[in-house]
Chains A and B, each alone.
Chain A
Amino acid sequence: MQVPGSTLLSPEHREFRVICRKFVDERVRPFVSEAEESRTFPPHLWRQLADAGLLGLGFPEGLGGSGGDVRSVAILSEELARASGGIAITPLVSSYMAAPHLVRFGTPAQQERYLRPVLAGEQVAAIAVSEPGAGSDVAGIALRAHADGDGYRLKGTKLFITNGGIADVVIVAAKTGDGDGHRSITTFIVEQGQAGFTVGRPLQKMGWHASDTRELIFDDCYVPGERVLGERGRGFYQIMTAFQAERVVLAAMAVGLADASLEAATIYARERTAFGRPISTLQAVRHAVARMKTQTEAARLLTYHAAALIDAGEDASEEVAMAKLFAAQAANEVVDQAVQVFGGAGYLEEVPVAMHYRDARALRIAGGTDEIQLEILSKRIGL
């Protein structure tokens, strides 16, 4: 196996990639078609992922973590996405977008009760921020949490919540004050099945078919005070902090998806003949594939660079935004070109590039749209 080399990775990272690829090839790939068709994440994978240590990367060992750093999470994201974006996003949301809130802001009791089972693959987590009227504009959420005795009552709706229907534990952002949205948001831990909390039907999506996405409805759902996660009124900042690693995950997924499409297009270009010769001898195809490789590698380096900065404890806001922006756009271009190289075959469901094509589109929207990344950068540049 050819391991994408990078000066930003250690020998341990490269070994870890080999482990991930083997796991994905043996344990994940055989289930991709079925998962896509049934629109269901294969449930047996949770335990296997946990046993391989892939759900606890970067978490303290005392809480069930398995060592590793942000670059390890990036590598895992990349390798999972090479097989299927819809399968990849499911555990990545649970362990690396929702669970970090519990690690960073949870009390020991909350961690014991909610985090440990998630890292062990026994429970699934989700993070619920987006609403019908507030996607990128986190400060604009409308779901309210009214104080009621020792706890709160949640009222409102969340939308586009990944793992919404399969999560045992949902971290919900709600407004606890009337003031400025940046200072009046609090996050809560909500359990599946508790009174006042219902989930809508799975949303039918353009891609990420194996992933479960729902509307969550809170109708005076009572949450006891001990399930406030972090500090009251600090939710906005908690969410923003968690976005860093979350966006690295999404950028890395884009890299994996681009890499898989590049690889598929390369193999196909060598095999497919037209005009009496392999299409790989036609400049239009050769150059297209060469460009795809350059874009993929550039996206990879930006992503690793952002991850390495976070690992070094440095502020990586700009690098994360650039990586997320560039990798998502590059993946879309690379996948589009891969479909073009495949010609008519690229439009058939049985080839993976058709799936990657649909899946790639989500990456320019989820976890902060292209435009949000551009705004972050514009502000950081000082415009």
Chain B
Amino acid sequence: MTGGLSEFHEELRAVARKIVGRPPSALGGLEPQILDWGALADAGLLGLEVPEGLGGAGATFAEVAVVLHELGRAPGVGPYLGSTVLATAALLLSDPGPARDELLAELAVGTKMATLVLDARTTRWDGPTFSVAPTANGATVAGRAEWVLDAAGADRLLCPAQGASGPVLVEVANTGDGLVVEDRPLADGTRRVGSVAAEGSPVLAGWPLPPGAVDDLVDLAATAVACDSLGLMEAMLEATVAFAKVRHQFGRPIGSFQAVQHACADMLVTVEVSRALVAQAVDAVASDTPAEERRASVSRAKSHVGAAAVEVCGKAVQLHGGIGYTWESGIHAYLKRATLNRALFGSPIEHRRRLVRALPGSPPC
């Protein structure tokens, strides 16, 4: 990975794992674990990318990726993706100023949560679904978006919107003033998505959106989800291997059966291929890689890892046998999150299509 901070990654990983990491068997119980937001804030994990002057660590997406990976290993409920990753990244693309800096500082210490109002099924941004209208003493925003990550719990909503002289990012308070945010139930109990409908909601602040900024954020989001999926499958492989060593059938550990050994070996191969692809995508997003090259890296990773995680988690269910099908095992939480991850910010088929489109002389498809 790039960045001068890579030597700290192991330390960062250890810190993150201490806070969020629990072995999957400890996931038992009917409710998913809730992320300890205070502990994440105290450890500085909410402000990794926030400049040091604003209370953050001044690090890069490469460091955020380390935490995302750990969150995948032990999925819990909390707006890390929506607030810490996407909202922060959107603000960092905006011009500095008091309003922006204040919100960034609050996100870094966890006193506020925000989200980027962007449909999480997006692979390519089609332009804003919100528009800004000037008023006597400011502006209001109106529009609607579905599938917005971590919308319901956010204090601030950052909406890409059509302004008088081009796309802007506007900040809206999630206080119900002309705004309706509705949670949408998901099979995956660890993520939250919702719809956001604004009708004349007051704009607190706004910044011009640089060209291509939202597409860059989509790439970042897809990579973040790929990191999460990598964590999911890595944890499932470890849990399965541990289980195969202790679970006895026919008088011996099931791990002594070739069928189980080879299935685990296949999982390992899948995980390692995914790890290499994700590392490349993280590197491309965190560094100044040219857009085309970055996009290809992201699509390679997301197209492969999205499906691979579902496959590995599915194998984990199979190898755990009846236990894998129980609620108490917690394995279902991984399978469901992997399934949702596969669809977020570009399904495998959409990313493959994007890769094909980028080939020289490829026909439109």
A→B interface (CB under 8 Å):
282-284, 287
Contact = CB atoms under 8 A, between A and B. Distances in A.
Given A283-B259, A284-B262, 7 more contacts: A282-B258, A283-B257, A283-B258, A284-B258, A284-B259, A287-B258, A287-B259
B52 to A, nearest CB: 55
Contacts of A283: 257-259
Interface string B241-265: 0000000000000000111001000
B256 to A, nearest CB: 10
A284 to B, nearest CB: 5
Contacts of A284: 258-259, 262
Contacts of B262: 284
B285 to A, nearest CB: 36
Interface string B194-230: 0000000000000000000000000000000000000
A288 to B, nearest CB: 10
Contacts of B257: 283
Contacts of B258: 282-284, 287
Interface of B: 257-259, 262
Contacts of A287: 258-259
Contacts of A282: 258
9 contacts: A282-B258, A283-B257, A283-B258, A283-B259, A284-B258, A284-B259, A284-B262, A287-B258, A287-B259
The 5 A-B pairs at the shortest CB distance, nearest first, are namely A283-B258, A284-B258, A283-B259, A287-B259, A283-B257
Nearest to A287: B259
A15 B262 CA distance: 43
A277 to B, nearest CB: 12
A284 B257 CA distance: 9
A282 B262 CA distance: 12
Contacts of B259: 283-284, 287
A287 B260 CA distance: 11
A282 B260 CA distance: 12
Nearest to B256: A283
Nearest to B258: A283
A279 to B, nearest CB: 11
The residue among A282, A283, A287 with the most chain B CB atoms within 10 A of its own CB is A283
Nearest to B257: A283
A283 B262 CA distance: 10
A31 B257 CA distance: 43
A105 B257 CA distance: 60
Nearest to B259: A283
B315 to A, nearest CB: 15
A87 to B, nearest CB: 37
A283 B261 CA distance: 10
A284 B258 CA distance: 6
A284 B261 CA distance: 9
Nearest to A285: B258
Nearest to A283: B258
Nearest to A284: B258
A282 B259 CA distance: 9
The residue among B257, B259, B262 with the most chain A CB atoms within 10 A of its own CB is B259
A29 B257 CA distance: 39
B170 to A, nearest CB: 43
A278 B262 CA distance: 19
A293 to B, nearest CB: 16
A288 B257 CA distance: 14
Nearest to B260: A283
A131 B118 CA distance: 52
A242 B262 CA distance: 45
A343 to B, nearest CB: 16
A276 to B, nearest CB: 15
A284 B260 CA distance: 9
A283 B257 CA distance: 7
A283 B255 CA distance: 12
A287 B257 CA distance: 11
A287 B259 CA distance: 8
A260 B29 CA distance: 52
A143 to B, nearest CB: 29
